Structure 1
Amino acid sequence: MLSLEGSVPSTENLLFNAVLRPNRSLSKKGFKILMGFILCIIFISSLGFLLAGAWPVLGFLGLDVALVYFAFRFSYRSGGQYELVQMTADEMLVTTVNPWGQKRSFSFQPYWLQVSFEEQDEENSLIVSSHGRSVSLGRFLAPIERKELADKLVSVLNRIKQNQL
């Protein structure tokens, strides 16, 4: 069974706690400024076309503005996804939330957990697995951020395994 509801570890026992979110370089305020700038440029352009007698172009310019707006809105919606990775000595809990708010939780025992970091050309992938179950982590992260996450997870797992021997 892939989707397991794990217990939320208490914060005092956490050995690792990370919230992974996609990067959005344009803030909401920046989005409003950009849309205002685009509207000004389109308005000035549309006046030129209107004065030249090419009024049908106005509809296409309005369509351009609508497409840019909806493309950014879709991008912001996908920015609502995140992954929560929490690890104690007894459990690793991975909670993924998609852009529509649907949650899935995966629970692993750290002692048996394998961290697979595969590099292919300039891309890489990070997969944690145990007992036939696996989860890909940080697909939306930059390759260097996935590498740092893999290194941190391996470090914490090594500490857990050394303390249990």
Structure 2
Amino acid sequence: MDDMIFMDAEIRPHRSLSERGFIILISIVTFLNCCSAAVFLAMGATLVPMFLGLDVLAVLIAFLASFASARQIERVRVTDSQVRVTHETPKWSRVVWESPTAFTRVSVLTEDDRAVDVRLALSGKEAQVAAALSPSERAEFAKALQGAIQDARKARW
């Protein structure tokens, strides 16, 4: 018999810069660094253009790492028998939390009326969930997760 699904949430990190915006930004940074390198070469400072090239490389690597982390998805699934949290990318999937629905708690750490941290807890073990969300979204997610767990418990009995 298949388990009834009460929540199947997919949490994706938000990135405000699109790939097109990234291409425009890296083009502007490269152009400005090339202009600066030409000025420094004209002044006889031959090592400065190498450091400007390293600057462009560092910006490129930082954005590529950011885009790679944006492809990671956190999936929270609540069924009548278990709560499961997985981290997924296009290449791999890893289970980070699995517990029986009947004994799983949701704990929310608040600071100045903002949900700072949402965790699943069972027998002294905890796992953070929804870290990619804003505090207000985190609070809404915590309520929905708590409701899904309660509904799953009711359906089980």
- TM-score strictly above 0.5: yes
What residue is the counterpart of 2:110 in the other structure?
119
- Number of residue pairs matched? 155
Richer in strand (by share): 2
- Where do residues 61-100 of structure 1 align in structure 2 (5 Å cutoff)? 61-97=52-88
Q: Once structures 1 and 2 are overlaid, which stretch shifts more, 102-111 or 43-52?
A: 102-111
- Give, as a single letter, the amino acid of the residue that structure 2 aligns with 1:155: G
Distance 1:105 1:159 in 2: 23
Q: Once structures 1 and 2 are overlaid, which stretch shifts more, 114-123 or 144-153?
A: 114-123
The answer (yes or no) to whether the contact 1:118–1:126 under 8 Å persists in 2 is yes
Judging changes above 3 Å, is the alpha-carbon distance between structure 1 residues 18 and 52 closer, same or farther for their aligned structure 2 residues?
same
Say which SS state the counterpart of residue 116 (structure 2) adopts.
strand
What residue is the counterpart of 1:58 in the other structure?
49
Structure 1 unaligned spans of 5+: 1-8
What residue is the counterpart of 1:110 in the other structure?
101
User: Scaled by the length of structure 2, what TM-score is found?
Assistant: 0.83
Does residue 129 of the first structure (1) align with residue 113 of the second (2)?
no
Deviation at 1:105, TM superposition (A): 4.4
Does residue 46 of the first structure (1) align with residue 42 of the second (2)?
no
The answer (yes or no) to whether the contact 1:16–1:88 under 8 Å persists in 2 is yes
What residue is the counterpart of 2:148 in the other structure?
156
Distance 2:115 2:148 in 1: 24
Deviation at 1:159, TM superposition (A): 2.5
Structure 2 unaligned spans of 5+: none
**CA RMSD, 1 decimal:** 2.6
